[in-house]
A and B are shown apart, each in its own frame.
Chain A
Amino acid sequence: MATIELRQVSKRYGQGKASVPVIHSLDAAISDHEFVVVVGPSGCGKSTLLRMVAGLEDISSGEILIGNRVVNRLEPSQRDIAMVFQNYALYPHMSVFENMAYGLKIAKMPSAEIKARVDKAAGILELGGLLQRKPRELSGGQRQRVAMGRAIVREPQVFLFDEPLSNLDAKLRVHTRLEIQKLHRELGITSLFVTHDQVEAMTLAQRMLVLNAGRVEQFGTPEQVYARPASTFVASFIGAPPMNLLRQAPGVPADTILGIRPEHLDMGQGWDLRVEAIELLGAERLLYCRLGPEPLILRIGADQPSPTVGAHIQAQPRAQQVHHFDAATGLRR
């Protein structure tokens, strides 16, 4: 059973009084075969968390269990895991084949079996013709596939991905995203994927762990996180453009923040808005307006009639889609 369990995991940098806490007593349980994405802004501790699971960083306190085995004190190579790095981390002087075979060679696997595994992984990732090339003779996307191939041949219990798509161009990112999804469907290996991109999180995750300043804000499916965000942070982080958070919405008490997504506002009767800017995205239009002193973004279809900049319009939030958050704590009511 390749489960991952994090029990009260904490991380501090530095010693004693001057130490900086980075992860605060984090608890999370990841099931067998699950694809979990850890998402959050820069500096929230997601990479640190991944590296602690990998064994590349020490844990200040708490326990990490992989497959019901406490792995705190184990070296990365003993944890039965494989990692895909942001910058691929391929050995420059070794061929693609040797890069993928290196870990197996160190584990003293017979060369016939090594060849079999490498060929199988190369088949899955369509790297067949590139096995004798060196990394510098490959494109970015090919290198990333070799990095994934290196992880696959180890046939580990857990895959760890550290922002693997960040170095790819937009088109390649979409393509590689689909490849990773396909891989997970075929191999079914428990995966922990770290990213700052909420689109990657929404599209790849079976469940998402939203991290903010070393704390878990929400851990749920993409639907749950999008439709019922647990806090203003999650509400504004997931979804682009972000959810509108209004402190002074008409008819709402002062201790409550009202949240409404740009696509859940209908033009017609309702709030008085002044249009400040308009962006055409292709299939839809974004209207940047002002409701009293606060900014508000509306999303309308491109085929709907568009107001002009400076015009006054009216829009009504859909009652079913309104969210309420406590103004003091930011938590969902």
Chain B
Amino acid sequence: MIENRPLLRWASHLVLILGVGIIFFPIYLTFIGSTQSAEQILGSHPLSLMPGGHFIDSYRLALFGGKTTAGASVGAAAPMLLVSLGSALIIAVGKIAISLLSAFAIVFFRFPFKKAVFWMVFITLMLPVEVRIGPTYEVVSQLHLLNSMAGLTIPLIASATATFLFRQFFLTVPNELVEAARMDGAGPMRFFKDVLLPLSGTSIAALFVIQFIYGWNQYLWPLLVTTDESMYPIVMGIKRLISGEVYVEWNLVMATTILAMLPPALVVVLMQKWFVKGLVDAEK
């Protein structure tokens, strides 16, 4: 029962507005910063809250590169955005495809050492990229995959979380559905394509959002694997703008950051409907 007391309503609204404010405020500041010139940012004590007039200049410089007001030359962010987009998409799609198939095998088939296989997959949850970085780097370099899209994405493509999530979902598929499909003459892959995949739609959407953001945020692995500037993802681009320079072009950094936040935000907004349904819904 939700109580209908006005004071409580005011208080809860206040708390929620405060929460939104705290989360939104840094993003707002970043956006403001990106619309000003470098001198304006450095000169303002405290940080200004009103947008400046340099929106187009900052973003053009950030996207396409060129010479800054201080004379330093800056690389273009556009190609880096494309690299990030490409690798995030490949990682998300690849992870989903592989884990769908492994969860399918684990749930619907009997084979020797099935339990051992399942636990081995599960144990890899204890092996994120950071733990296995040495051996993985060596393998990738020996396969001549450094500085390539393949090298950026393939080592990150197996996912125990996604396998586990799909396994849990597949277990809720009633046995009779499988038997009905069998009686209709559907083989395993036919069943997978015609019955399982359509039913998994919401789970796939939810996982796509999670894995896309995971792929987009990758920093350590791309840092190791790429030396060629054309293969840098956007997160590396942002870092490079800040480090080393004595005179940091903050407006550029802000603009690049805003650009880097847009694609994942777009993905979340577009998939949002399915995201929540996928995590909560149990369709029969």
**Is B283 engaged at the interface, CB distance under 8 Å to the other chain?**
yes
How many residues from B make CB contacts under 8 Å with A? 18
Cross-chain contact A89 with B176 (CB below 8 angstroms): yes
What CA separation (Å) do A82 and B180 show in the bound complex?
9
Cα–Cα distance between A204 and B34 once the two chains are bound (Å): 79
Tell me whether A75 and B199 are in contact (CB under 8 A): no
Within 8 A of A (CB), among B256-284: 283-284
A sample of 12 inter-chain contacts (CB < 8 A) reads A76-B179, A76-B182, A77-B186, A78-B185, A85-B180, A89-B177, A92-B283, A93-B195, A102-B184, A106-B184, A106-B190, A150-B180
Taken together as a complex, chains A and B put the C-alpha atoms of A81 and B180 apart, in Å, by 12
**Distance in Å from the Cβ of B108 to the closest Cβ of chain A?**
14
Q: Once the chains are docked, how many angstroms separate the CA of A68 from the CA of B179?
A: 25
C-alpha spacing A236/B179, complex, angstroms: 34
**Which single member of B185, B199, B284 contacts A106 (CB below 8 Å)?**
B185
Query: B residues touching A (Cβ–Cβ < 8 Å)?
Result: 174, 176-177, 179-186, 190, 194-195, 198-199, 283-284
Question: What 0/1 pattern do residues 87 to 124 of A give for CB contact below 8 A with B?
Answer: 10111110000000011001100000000000000000
Asked if B177 and A91 sit within 8 Å, CB to CB, the answer is yes
**Distance in Å from the Cβ of A267 to the closest Cβ of chain B?**
50
Which secondary structure dominates chain B's binding surface? helix
Determine whether the beta carbon of A103 is less than 8 Å from that of B198: no
**Complex: A87 Cα to B176 Cα, angstroms:** 8
By the criterion CB–CB under 8 Å, are B183 and A54 in contact?
A: yes
Residues of chain A lying within 8 A (CB to CB) of residue B180: 83, 85, 89-91, 150
- Picked from A85, A91, A93, A107, the residue with its CB within 8 Å of the CB of B185 is A107
Question: How long is the Cα–Cα vector from A106 to B189 in the complex, in angstroms?
Answer: 12
B203 to chain A, nearest CB (A): 13
CB-defined contacts of B179 to chain A, threshold 8 Å: 56, 76, 83, 85, 89
Question: How far is it, in angstroms, between the C-alpha of A87 and the C-alpha of B174 when the chains are bound?
Answer: 9
- Min CB–CB distance A206 → chain B (angstroms): 24
Residue in B181, B183, B283 whose Cβ sees the most chain A Cβ within 10 Å: B183
A107 CA / B183 CA spacing, docked (Å): 12
**CB–CB B182/A77 < 8 A:** yes
**Residue in chain B with minimal CB distance to A103:** B184
What are the interface flags for A53-91 relative to B under an 8 Å C-beta threshold, 1 for contact and 0 otherwise?
010100000000000000000011110011101110111
Q: How far is the CA of A75 from the CA of B182 in the complex (A)?
A: 8
Question: A-side interface residues toward B, CB under 8 Å?
Answer: 54, 56, 75-78, 81-83, 85-87, 89-93, 102-103, 106-107, 136, 150
A82 to B179, CA, bound (A): 11
Please state if B186 and A85 are interface contacts (CB–CB under 8 Å): no
Q: Are A85 and B176 closer than 8 Å at their CB atoms?
A: yes
In the assembled complex, which residues on chain B have CB atoms less than 8 Å from the CB atom of A87?
Answer: 174, 176
- List of B residues within 8 angstroms of A78 by Cβ: 185
**Residue of B with least CB distance to A98:** B194
Residues of A within 8 A of B174 (CB): 87, 89
- Selected from B181, B185, B199, the residue in CB contact (under 8 A) with A92 is B199
Residue of chain A at shortest CB distance from B185: A77
Chain A neighbourhood of B284, CB < 8 A: 92, 136
Question: Does A82 contact B199, Cβ atoms closer than 8 Å?
Answer: no
Assembly CA distance A103 to B177 (angstroms): 13
By a CB distance below 8 angstroms, the chain A residues around B186 are: 77, 102, 106
- Shortest C-beta distance, B119 to chain A (Å), equals 24
Closest B residue, CB atoms, query A86: B176
**Contact indicator A91/B182 (Cβ below 8 Å):** no
B183 and A102 contact, CB distance less than 8 A: no
Given contacts A103-B183, A103-B184, 7 further A-B contacts (CB under 8 A): A56-B183, A77-B182, A89-B174, A90-B180, A91-B181, A102-B194, A106-B186
**In contact, A77 and B195 (Cβ under 8 angstroms):** no
A177 to B225, CA, bound (A): 69
Going nearest first, the 3 A-B pairs with the smallest beta carbon separation are A77-B185, A103-B184, A89-B176
What distance in Å separates the Cβ of B166 from its nearest Cβ neighbour in chain A? 17
- Nearest to B186 among chain A residues (CB) is A106
CA distance A102 to B186 in the complex (A): 9
Docked pose: A106 CA to B194 CA in angstroms: 11
Q: With a CB–CB cut-off of 8 A, which chain B residues contact A93? A: 195, 198-199
Residue of A nearest to B184 (CB): A103
- A135 closest partner in B (C-beta): B284
CB distance from B201 to the nearest CB of A (A): 8
| Nearest-Cβ distance from residue B112 to partner chain A, whole angstroms | 15
Inside 8 A of A83's CB, which chain B residues have their CB? 179-180, 183
List chain B residues, Cβ under 8 A from A85: 176, 179-180
CA of A56 to CA of B186, assembled, Å: 13
Report the nearest A residue to B197, measured CB to CB.
A93
Closest to B178 in A: A89
With a CB–CB cut-off of 8 A, which chain B residues contact A107? 185
- Give bound CA distance, A159 to B16, whole Å: 60
| Complex: A106 Cα to B198 Cα, angstroms | 17
Q: Shortest distance in angstroms between A189's beta carbon and chain B's nearest beta carbon? A: 15
Q: What residue in chain B is nearest A93 (Cβ atoms)?
A: B198
Smallest CB–CB gap between B247 and chain A, Å? 59
Min CB–CB distance B7 → chain A (angstroms): 42
Bound form: Cα–Cα A77–B190 in Å: 14
In the bound assembly, the distance between CA atoms of A90 and B183 in angstroms comes to: 12
Known interface pairs A91-B195, A92-B283; A76-B183 also in contact (CB < 8 Å): yes
